[in-house]
Structure 1
């Protein structure tokens, strides 16, 4: 026969695994022994939690209170420790019900009584820490969780330590330390995920919230969909409801109907199980979603009443966010009411980054509606300064570019307000601000991560395996690589200062160049030209006109690069030529003047990043440099330019690649090393890159839109990823990539792809194409480019010379561009 202690311990393990029915049976057997004192309290406490987890929160309260009454009337004595255990459990039940005010004194009494009982006291502190988290009382939460960690370490409870570490990661998340949050959560996940699907679901639920905060919306949605599958047939109603609620919030702007359905389902689950406080949170998300729809009668009274309920439960962050969305709704219908309402909204300095950005969006929009764009810029600039300062804590390029998505609405307000002022200085400033922290010149290399290198190697080893287990492992390894990129992430950017127009003019004069900077305002595209004289601004018209021409551009470029029959090629090239002429007419002709110098520095938003600018008729003979930002370009100008030694890599499977590689090497007359055939491995390519000042790669390429740093170059042992580039100890000043899509990138303002990975790693210039290339024509084109560079021309000037040889009949099969600093 098992003792009550053994039965309770086994039941606790089953509860942790989400196997509540089995736990209930063991606890019933333990009660048959009629244990007294602490043992009785632990049986009642565990039973109450099982009841709450399986939908009977009221029943859980009842048995705890009944046992406490029996103790007070001396029917069955619990003892001071047993009583403290039940008070702690009552506190946890009150938290589950949303009664935080009732829970706090219960936790305080229990923790004081259990100070000499580490494990029991640690569990109380975990629950109180969660309460503080929900109220965004982060210092208090950190103190409780850190103390709980010490207590569990004292008794050697590894599982409870992992739970504390996970919650501590949530403190980091709410404090804005996304890298720290993911690091702690991933460490805890390695212990917890193998215990049960219940633990894995909880870990992945909070992990999805970190991904959402980082702007990785697709990854967050995928993770939540997996969580919902894990809990679909389980008794984990609370995890399911929280996952539904988070997914509803994420999808609110993308899929109105599904978001509304998810929020309603979450609210129903919370209410069915007696969790009124969490139901109010779900109501707030549902109300926000409704505000996005058509409201012929204005903001519903029920929404305003809901705000009082949020405040009554100390859900300040949720209340503030909903108030800001209400203000946006008023802005559409009643500007005076919107102004009065907004004035009463207090946004705390420790509010979530997303809430502070939302406040700036509301206040900027209000000022713009009032015709005060300069005041709108004050709000937008303050928020963006705080946001970019936050971004600088992330050295990882993927994080910097992804988090920029979080600020999209404020960036659009700032860009529009700057344009409305028609002040060149402000327009230029916001064209730079729009690109975030990742646009700064950042030449300091991050240390090599051997764990990431190993994970990338394992991904390559699985490239030819198509069974389910290999696929699962590849997905797992890709997540690991992404997460490792966050670990210890910190930026070397120490200054947030941006150049002004005069700074740009001085640097442009030194390079004998002019700047054309394009900005996307959401519904329009505008441009500004900066050269020796007064900057000139241009409204280039509705975005829809430009988007129409861009929609078919990638397909036309890709087909033009394919070797088809002459009739099909002629048809495709005619279509592409027409499309390029239309884009030239929309984007180049209005801004280009005959007096402009041959060299043109371009800064473009991500939505225009797929344009092969050198193929547009007006720019065909121009020396172009497509820079991350003017700030980046100025920073890179002090770096060394084009010179030997040269490394040449030729990957497998290209019909003309080896000829191209030999001719490129020959162009540098003995100042090059070449790696081809079986020797062209990722290790050899990495070694060659680290020892060369110029690197030329001829291979097949592949762009990954979902995860741009997994864009890759095909080598003998598998793909050489953008992530591999981040692990190089040093990189060439110039990288020429004769491979498909290596200049392609994704993003609205800032953009990420293989070329950007090289630039962030420290390369000064990358020559690549934003589309497929014809390797037969590339085998002629790129050696000619190298011969000119070997003769002393800069990459941009050499490329312009080649284009200028036949401006009326450009080579549409090689849409190469210079990214970074081409001079």
Structure 2
């Protein structure tokens, strides 16, 4: 092999490292020419380094250096020494590596010097976090590459330049550098470099708070790396971070754990991934795993001299220990050391470290600890003017905590509200309803502090405002029709077909493992793609209590809203121009009463002897105390917490004989109240496999000949969606499948497969009112912080005014009678609350009928 050919192999080896290594071993390493053999050993050493074979890599590079000296070519010596230095640094031996790099800089010139400067810039900037020094080296190197026409190394230099610009906040320059790096790489069809540039453009999107774009670019980069059989640990760590910012802790942990065990890792790679594991484990509630991973990462980074990056590992380790509890004084001392280190190296994690330290200081009773808490909160509060929503929210939380220490309730509430506004803006960037709901968890501390402060103010209106401030915000704005891209549409069609094949295989007793795996892959493909949708940027307005009270008075309605503060349940009763507050009792007691009531209903619907009245009285006492004692003749709308949505309200003695409805939030009720139907088109749908055969539909249709009926093979997903679009009333008698693991894949079974929540979200005009008569079809899952997902939640989010659904197993024959009575009332002009009251009255005297009627509830109006 000629020298020019050997140099080109070295220059472009990252386009196919395995092939380059094999060729170097076969043709260059055995060559008698020390120059050529030196190149061969250098290529092999780099490939071994990328395979995490540290000692073999260093041995090969030292052989290359010895041969380079024998060749008498100073540029060859300097180039090998630069590779050796960069490799030592990547292996955590930073001091040795920098010594080799600095020595090499004295031995080379021209193109060899430019390549050395890029290697040194990588170590200086991204091991030692000295970004300005890194950019100085790159500025020297880039003109040389341009003059020599070396696009490969110019692209690498541009990529590093983009990383350095981003690290110091120069994001426009970073984007330009990454785009130029991608352009140069595409000219030479260098797939790895293109994937790296796409990844880094995703990182810029993440830094600029554009999470949907970041997730999309990370997914594209991951696909590009997968296509060439490579794994980028940097990309994995960044995807983990983006998932966590989106509220996807479980997904983040899975992604990083898989890569941690998939191949041998260099020590710095392992350390970085362990930090990601600790972050994800902490978010997922596994403090022990977080502490173990963070401690190991910290030890590795200390040995590698990566003191700036070690701060994050130590922060996560201390956070995990704080979650686990323990003696406050030792943890506070750890926090002091951590904050000192963060200040010393200028770590971006300093605000989080200050907040953690202040929280720990509050548990240590001493004047010094109190002083530290105040000082640290004051310092952390400067983040309220930061560029990203998460940082601003953290700064406002610090400001609120400091105001709390000084006893200024007004300042606490203002700061909490400003922090939640920042997170509202963050949530509004998501087009995915799931991400909007899940990301609400980031505001839980602000919302809890605001509610606790409002409670202490003894102002019932203030408490109602704060009960609503962070409740069902993902549902508070109507979500427009989501037109799916062709790939998502195809995946949903394939998913429906797979479900049909799965049902057939299960019925025949055939193996289903492969079919289930295919379903899971398709669901993940759809879910991931929807994460990339951009939101409108519109945020929900706060509750106007005066407007609410006026609306309630107009409708002669009482709102009873439940809110939980520090494990205690409180009731807020709004009616006749005023708001009353009553303390109810432990939230845990209420949860047990709900479970007992649902069990009682299930037993009663099966015809078994039960104590339905006892269950109802116990439920009313546990949920409301005396809050329902002075309702008079008014209608009632109940708003429970997210964990108290599946309550059979019809069992409560105070509600059983009056029209009532429930709502996830008062804001949602106000919006539903303003909603009007377009025309008077009624639709009745029947799905397959029902025990009753959908018997209520013919009975209802017989009394309502104008209603459109889709039954049997006619009730396909496409036909049903067309019928539902713009309907004034839709009655769906179809098996409902609630997916607790992924609520937006909850479905209704139709003739050709499941109609998913994702399908419903494509409707241009959601049905005005919907009746779901099958068992448990209206179940919703609490997610994030006071958010809900599921079929009924999706309909409300889209703008459906009201949904009737069952909360428990119901008797098929009894359901027919209940539904006939409900529809008769609706045709006479009553609302859903009136209709369900009529159904309960018609069922009185028959235990099974009464239990069935009580199992249905109204969401909305």
Which runs of structure 2 are paired with 1:379-390 in the superposition (5 Å)? 379-390=415-426
1:4 corresponds to 2:11 = no
1:214 corresponds, among 239, 243, 246, to: 246
| Whole-angstrom distance in 2 between the partners of 1:554 and 1:49 | 65
Does 513-522 or 443-452 show the bigger shift?
A: 443-452
Aligned to 1:243: 273
Residue 93 (structure 2) pairs with residue 93 (structure 1): no
1:210-238 Cα shifts (integer Å, max 9, x gaps): 1211112222223233232324xx12444
| 1:191 counterpart residue number | 224
Structure 2 counterpart of 1:484, from 526, 529, 532: 529
Match of 1:801 in 2: 838
Query: Residues 26 and 294 of structure 1: is their aligned pair in 2 closer, same or farther, counting only changes over 3 Å?
Result: closer
Higher mean C-alpha displacement, 328-337 vs 416-425: 328-337
- C-alpha contact (below 8 Å) 2:413/2:453 kept by paired residues: yes
Correspondence for 2:573 among 521, 529, 532: 529
CA deviation vs aligned residue, 1:274-298 (integer Å, no higher than 9, x gap)? 5343223212222333344323425
d(CA) in 1 for partners of 2:215 and 2:334? Answer: 37
Q: Does 1:182 align with 2:227?
A: no
In 1, distance between residues paired with 2:86 and 2:526?
Answer: 38
Q: What is the number of residues matched between the two proteins?
A: 801
Higher alpha-carbon deviation: 380-389 or 505-514: 505-514
Output the CA distance in 1 between the equivalents of 2:111 and 2:97: 19
SS of 1:507's partner is helix
What is the RMSD computed on CA atoms of the aligned residues? 3.2
* 1:159-213 superposed Cα distances (whole Å, 9 cap, x missing partner): 42222121221222232211111112122222122222523x5544322221211
Q: Deviations over 1:92-111 (max 9, x none)?
A: 12234334254343233233
Based on CA coordinates, which of the two structures has the bigger radius of gyration? 2
Query: Structure 1 471/149 Cα, relative in aligned 2: closer, same or farther at 3 Å?
Result: same
Cα pair 1:743 1:755 within 8 Å, conserved? yes
Distance apart, 1:533 and its partner CA: 3.4
1:517 and 1:538 map into 2 onto residues whose CA distance is 11
Residues 804, 609 of structure 1: CA spacing in aligned structure 2 closer, same or farther, 3 A cutoff? same
Which position in structure 2 is the counterpart of 1:633?
A: 669
Q: Is the 8 A contact 2:567 2:588 kept in 1?
A: yes
1:235 is paired with a residue whose SS is coil
- Please name the residue that 1:821 is paired with: 860
Q: Are the aligned partners of 1:217 and 1:250 in contact in 2 as well (CA < 8 Å)?
A: yes
Q: Is the 8 A contact 1:404 1:436 kept in 2?
A: no
Distance in 2 between residues matched to 1:298 and 1:29, nearest whole Å? 50
1:541 and 2:622 equivalent? Answer: no
The 1:443/1:629 distance shift into structure 2, 3 A limit, reads same
1:75 aligned partner: none
Q: Deviations over 1:443-492 (max 9, x none)?
A: 63333433222212222222345666544443332222223223332237
Deviations 1:297-325 (A, max 9, x none): 2544343233232223221x311110111
Corresponding residue for residue 517 of structure 1: 561
Judged with a 3 Å threshold, the aligned counterparts in structure 2 of structure 1 residues 691 and 417 are, in CA distance, closer, same or farther, namely closer
Matches within 5 A, 1:137-536: 138-199=171-232, 202-231=234-263, 234-252=264-282, 254-292=285-323, 293-297=325-329, 299-315=331-347, 317-334=348-365, 335-345=370-380, 346-347=382-383, 349-350=385-386, 352-368=388-404, 370-435=406-471, 437-442=473-478, 444-463=480-499, 464=501, 470-491=515-536, 493=538, 496-536=540-580
Q: Does 1:672 align with 2:707?
A: yes
Determine helix, strand or coil for the equivalent of 1:653.
Answer: coil
Q: Which residue of structure 1 aligns with residue 721 of structure 2?
A: 686
1:516 deviates by 1.3
Q: Is the 8 A contact 1:524 1:541 kept in 2?
A: yes
For residues 507 and 212 of structure 1, do their structure 2 counterparts lie closer, same or farther at Cα, with a shift above 3 Å needed?
Answer: same
After superposition, the C-alpha distances for 1:593-627 in whole angstroms (9 at most, x for unaligned) are 44444421222220211212222222122322322
Deviates most, 184-193 or 586-595:
586-595
Q: Mind listing any 5+ residue stretches in structure 2 that lack a counterpart?
A: 18-45, 503-510
**Is residue 11–residue 27 contact of structure 1 (8 Å, CA) maintained in 2?**
no
Please give the secondary structure, in 2, of the residue aligned with 1:655: coil
Which residue of the partner structure matches residue 730 of structure 1? 765
Task: State the alpha-carbon separation in 1 of the partners of residues 704 and 267 from structure 2.
Answer: 67
Q: Matched residues in 2 for 1:645 and 1:299: separation?
A: 65
Q: Secondary structure at the match of 2:329?
A: coil
1:798 Cα offset (Å): 0.3
Say if 2:823 is the partner of 1:786: yes
Distance 1:24 1:339, change over 3 A: closer
**Shift in Å, 1:413:** 0.7
Partner of 1:811: 850
Q: Report the 3-state secondary structure (helix = DSSP H, G, I; strand = E; otherwise coil) of the residue aligned with 1:387.
A: helix
1:515 alignment partner, SS class: strand
- Secondary structure in 1 aligned to 2:16? helix
> TM-score, structure 2 length as denominator?
0.85
